[in-house]
A = this chain, B = another copy of it.
Amino acid sequence: MSDNTEKLKELLAEVIDLRNAAALLSWDQHTYMPPAGAEARGQQLATLGKLAQIKFTSDEVGRLLEDLKSEFKGIDEYTDDAALVKVTARDYDKAIRVPPEFVAEQARVTSKALEAWVEARKKSDYSIFRPHLEKVVELIKRYITFFPPSDHSYDVLLDDYEPGMKTADVIEIFNTLRPKQVELIKAIARQKPINDKFLHGDYNQNKLVDFAIGIATQFGYDWNRGRQDRSPHPFSTSFSMNDVRITTRFEPHAPINTLFNTMHESGHALYEQGVHPSYERTTLMGGASLGIHESQSRLWENLVGRSLPFWEYFYPAFKKKFSSHVGNISLKSFYKAINKVEPSFIRVEADEATYNLHIMLRLEIEIGLAQGEMDVKDLPEIWNSKMKGYLGITPPNDAKGVLQDVHWSGGSVGYFSTYALGNLISAQLWEVINRDLPDLDDHIRKGSFEPLLTWLREHLHVHGRKYEPQVLVQKITGSKINPTAYVKYLTRKFGEIYNL
């Protein structure tokens, strides 16, 4: 290792320490912090964020990166140290483009926008949120101007979450996907609805959480390097590859979601627990992109957790534990119930067949706003007409429509599509995994997830942020991100379930 590399790692280690400390403060805020602690916590987070930013964007880091770029010229960009320089330079180049005053202004605007959004959603009154969203969109447009012009102004936003991914690629993917998913749900709508009443009973919260933790343990979640807590919104977070945590939410109106939420967050956590230990305290720690991260959570939640082999193993125990709810429900009926397709207003409650349509709707609106082709004032109407077009339903009010997601209030424009990309990637991976592990279903049927986790570790997790998402998917599956595998998966799975 060159002196420069060593020096860079030293500087990065402090930046990462600050970011990880901030992540713990944030975890605590969502789990255990007493209510009155919020103001001081906000100040502490702001201070840590500011110091991390100052340290990361220092001239010293800039000079080192310049020197190292020359030093590593001609060397395979995916050797560890070369990749470290590349990824760090990518982050650095972005970070120095955005003026600190802009960051401060965005913090102020979004803090007020968040408050307004909470009130607007509560009252289902878009007019409360609209002026704030207008300011947010103005900031987003200004943010784009800090970067060199690209084919598509939305590229700048997307690139923050899916490095190297282009808006044109996403649009092309979604254009292929959309008609197939619309067609599928129309065909399903013509079939007899599945009965899932028994999933909505008065399940015991602690027993469900225990069952969920049991599943995560069987997946291979390393509790020596992680833990599980409750929070109003489930999430996963990490402060080192040896401290990766998840939270679980219990939803009284949909208790079974406790299991799927936990599997979802475990998928994220297994990824972070599997990154190469030598990337600790460097910018290579973490996931390649939000889309790749989501591929892991969705893989464990859906391709594993909503599969028949999975429940062939777990259902006997589940039935025994929750006999008053599912004592006389067959495995087949249970399996169908947890996969019931039903167009609904709320994205986070959507089933596998309809979920991506929620995403496409948002992406189209985000692009429209970024390009200046849509006006904030028209969003409720645009939203509702797209819902009608894609899902065949019209929200009864804006709380269940355009006001449902928190993201825009926080200035987070550009990452909805990663949720859908994650689904596509998970299916692409699944095809390759099943080719490499032809008896995977049998393993799952026996409750053995070790071959699957080992495969994911070796092919994906270990690389952390080293590869750009498209490069990584290409390397593992032989193709770029595309919807073929996912469409095939959906068609077969729901074709069977709904006798299409």
Known: A37-B239, A37-B240, A37-B243. A47 touches B17 (CB 8 A): yes
| Cα–Cα, bound, A17→B22 (Å) | 11
Q: Is A227 an interface residue (CB 8 A)?
A: yes
Q: Which of chain A's residues 11-46 have a Cβ closer than 8 Å to chain B?
A: 13-14, 17-18, 20-22, 24-25, 28, 32-37, 39-41, 43-44
Q: Given the interface contacts A28-B28, A225-B37, A227-B34, does A43 sit within 8 Å of B243 by beta carbon?
A: no
Task: Tell me whether A394 is interfacial, beta carbon within 8 Å.
Answer: no
Given the complex, which residues of B lie within 8 Å of A226, measured CB to CB? Answer: 34
Q: A465: CB under 8 A from chain B?
A: no
CB-defined contacts of A206 to chain B, threshold 8 Å: none
How many Å from the CB of A404 to the closest CB on chain B? 30
The answer to the question of A249 belonging to the interface, with a C-beta cut-off of 8 Å to chain B, is no
Q: Which residues of B contact A239 (CB under 8 A)?
A: 37, 40-41, 44
**Interface: A322 (CB within 8 A):** no
Residue of B at shortest CB range from A27?
B28
Contact of A37 among B13, B34, B35, B242 (CB under 8 A): B242
Distance to closest chain B CB from A11 (angstroms): 11
Q: Which 10 A-B residue pairs are closest in the complex by CB-CB distance?
A: A40-B240, A37-B243, A17-B47, A36-B242, A36-B225, A17-B44, A36-B224, A14-B47, A21-B44, A34-B227
Contacts of A165 in B (CB 8 A): none
Q: How far apart are the CA atoms of A243 and B36 in the complex, in Å?
A: 7
- Tell me, yes or no, whether A223 is within 8 Å of chain B by CB: yes
Confirm or deny: A51 has a beta carbon within 8 angstroms of a beta carbon on chain B. Answer: yes
**Would you list which residues of chain A between 200 and 232 have a CB under 8 Å from chain B?**
222-227, 229
Distance of A248 from chain B, by nearest CB (Å): 15
Q: Distance (Å) between the CB of A27 and the closest chain B CB?
A: 8
A281 within 8 A of B: yes
Q: Which residues of B contact A225 (CB under 8 A)?
A: 34, 36-37
Within 8 A of B (CB), among A302-343: none
A51 nearest CB neighbor, chain B only: B51
Minimum distance in angstroms from A178 CB to a CB of chain B: 43
Question: Nearest B residue to A245 by beta-carbon distance?
Answer: B34
Q: Which residues of B contact A227 (CB under 8 A)?
A: 32, 34
Contact B223 A34 (CB under 8 A): yes
* 8 Å CB interface, A165-205 against B: none
A120: chain B residues within 8 A (beta carbon): none
Given contacts A32-B227, A39-B240, could you give 9 more A-B pairs where the C-beta distance is less than 8 Å? A17-B47, A17-B48, A18-B47, A24-B44, A34-B225, A34-B227, A34-B245, A36-B242, A39-B242
Nearest residue, chain B, Cβ from A243: B37
A77 within 8 A of partner (CB): no
| A134: interface (CB < 8 Å) | no
Interface status of A351 (Cβ within 8 A of chain B)? no
Contact assessment for A21 and B48 in the assembled complex, using a CB-CB cutoff below 8 Å: yes
> What CA separation (Å) do A22 and B21 show in the bound complex?
8
For residue A217, give the distance in angstroms from its CB to the closest CB of chain B: 13
A125 within 8 A of B: no
